[in-house]
Amino acid sequence: MQNPPKGSTKYCMKVMKFGGTSVGTVDSLKNLKQIVEGLTEPAIIVVSALGGLTDRLIATARDAASGNGLYKTEMPVIRGRHYEIIDALISADRREEVRTKIDGLLNELNDVFRGISLIRALPERTLDLVVSFGERMSSILVSAIVGADFHDSLEYVRTEQWFTGSIADRKLTEELIRKEFSLPLTNNAVTGGFISRDRETGEITNLGRGGSDYTAALIAAALDAELLEIWTDVDGFLTTDPRVVSSAHIIPEMTFVESMELCNFGAKVVYPPTIYPVFHKNIPIKILNTFNPSAPGTLISDFHFSTPEVRGVSLMKGTALLTVEGSLTINVAQINTRGYNALARNGIGVLVVGEPIRHTALAIVVPQKDSTKAFRELEVEFGPDIRQGTVTSVGVAEGMAIIAVVGESIKKIAGLGSRLVNILERKGISVEALSDGASESTIAIVVSDNDAAEALKLVHEAAIQMPR
Ligand code: ADP
Ligand code: ASP
Ligand code: MG
């Protein structure tokens, strides 16, 4: 890292986020420690819960709510994982102190599970409390392992209620971050990702599954960091999901917009809301591998490439396709706007507005969990049109997947969308909708969930090498 120019007030500091697999085992934590020991300037280190623990906490809370008492056997397992790390990686003189802190949290967690099993119910807020223990414990462990200052993220990450969920109150959080961390840092700092408090009630909330990336981005943006590093278990951002397509390969560089689109449409490597705060401040992101730290990784920045390329292809399953069919005289643009607005007004996140392949008017894709509500809203919105006969029906089909083909200038690749649709249909895969114009950088193809893996392979193979 370079020092700031003379007279500049900008301090060169990076924020590093280590995900669950990077803090999952004694061996992975040894890698993390080595990476941190190699730093030449102090950094802020954001950590997830020990790998897989958040899932286990959720499952155990559900067990407790069903009254089956399994939490009593799970608690020693959770304690054992944390103790194993303390024994292997924390110096003898600090072990007792760290064990006492972890024990305090585990006792609290045990009380929460006991409470859940007594009332046989698991309200959303109680589940938020349960999962918070993951990052609260891992951050204490990692700060002791690397000898860093501990910062409690429950003190500075604030959320607000948004329809039925919580979203970050970015302004308040960034103000609190600036109070929490004084720059220049004199020592490394460790803090837990994901966890937060409601700004009104003070209750523990979180930023959503995978939200530690977002905590790191909020810190980087608030402090004008030089770089945000996301340390994970793959060599970088890949051209598609490596768990579905084995020929996926590393993308050395991409733009903020490209990463945002790929993540919004299911690239799990970065939690989608992460990109915006750092993009806004033009802070580059690097995706790096904790298990292969010398690999160059992927740089995400505002650098624009001159050649139109398909940068990557994402897959998002578990969506529903809403359609509106109408007479030939229907005003498609107006139907699109009305359909979109009716859903947005009711807090339903529209994923794609596309041209239906086999219908005459609107095709909108929403998360499957919202499909019933979305269908009802469209029925209400288009009720008068149905009575007049301009709209003939509103329909919903669940079990749909979106394949998003992303590149900042792919619209310059002539006929890319229809060429890809032809390739799929020739292989017998039915394309339900195509969105070739919603965003400058993404073409979205909607297929059935059942065809998604095969379709992703075909689209990846064709689009990444498609002649320009
Ligand atoms: P962490 O625990 O570090 O936050 P995640 O599991 O959230 O890690 O994200 C990393 C995983 O994302 C990888 O192991 C990989 O399987 C998956 N993944 C899905 N799509 C992509 C992609 N396009 N590039 C890289 N990884 C991807
Ligand atoms: N531990 C949380 C999760 O598993 C947050 C994160 O890992 O980013 O979703
Ligand atoms: Mg993640």
Q: What is the pTM of this model?
A: 0.94
**Residue indicated by tokens 């947005």:** 344
Nearest atom in ligand 2 to the alpha carbon of residue 194 is 5
User: Which residues are near ligand 3, the ion (C-beta closer than 5 Å)?
Assistant: 19, 210
Which of 209, 234, 250, 261 for mutating ligand 1's site (highest number of atoms within 8 Å of CB)? 234
- pLDDT tens by residue, 205-220: 999 999 999 999 999 9
Tokens standing for residue 318: 């578990």
Which of 48, 153, 207, 219 for mutating ligand 2's site (highest number of atoms within 8 Å of CB)? 48
5-to-185, 228, 283, 329, 376 alpha-carbon distances in Å: 18, 20, 17, 64, 58
Q: How many angstroms does the Cα of residue 273 sit away from the middle of ligand 2?
A: 14
Nearest atom in ligand 1 to the alpha carbon of residue 242 is 16
pLDDT of residue 174: 98
Q: How far apart are CA 319 and CA 336, in angstroms?
A: 19
pLDDT of residue 2: 42
416 Cβ inside 6 Å of ligand 1? no
Counting ligands in written order, the one closest to the CA of 131 is 2
CA terminus-to-terminus distance, the chain: 38
Contact 375, 272 (CB under 8 A): no
CA-based diameter of the chain, in Å?
80
Give me the tens of pLDDT residue by residue for the chain, a chain 468 residues long: 444 444 444 557 999 999 999 999 999 999 999 999 999 999 999 999 999 999 999 999 999 999 998 999 999 999 999 999 999 999 999 999 999 999 999 999 999 999 999 999 999 999 999 999 999 999 999 999 999 999 999 999 999 998 778 999 999 999 999 999 999 999 999 999 999 999 999 999 999 999 999 999 999 999 999 999 999 999 999 999 999 999 999 999 999 999 999 999 999 999 999 999 999 999 999 999 999 999 999 999 998 877 778 999 999 999 999 999 887 677 778 888 899 999 999 889 899 988 777 766 789 999 999 999 999 999 999 999 999 988 999 999 999 999 999 999 888 888 899 999 999 999 999 999 998 755 789 999 999 999 999 999 999 999 986 555
- pLDDT tens by residue, 48-101: 999 999 999 999 999 999 999 899 999 999 999 999 999 999 999 999 999 999
Q: How many angstroms does the Cα of residue 19 sit away from the middle of ligand 2?
A: 7
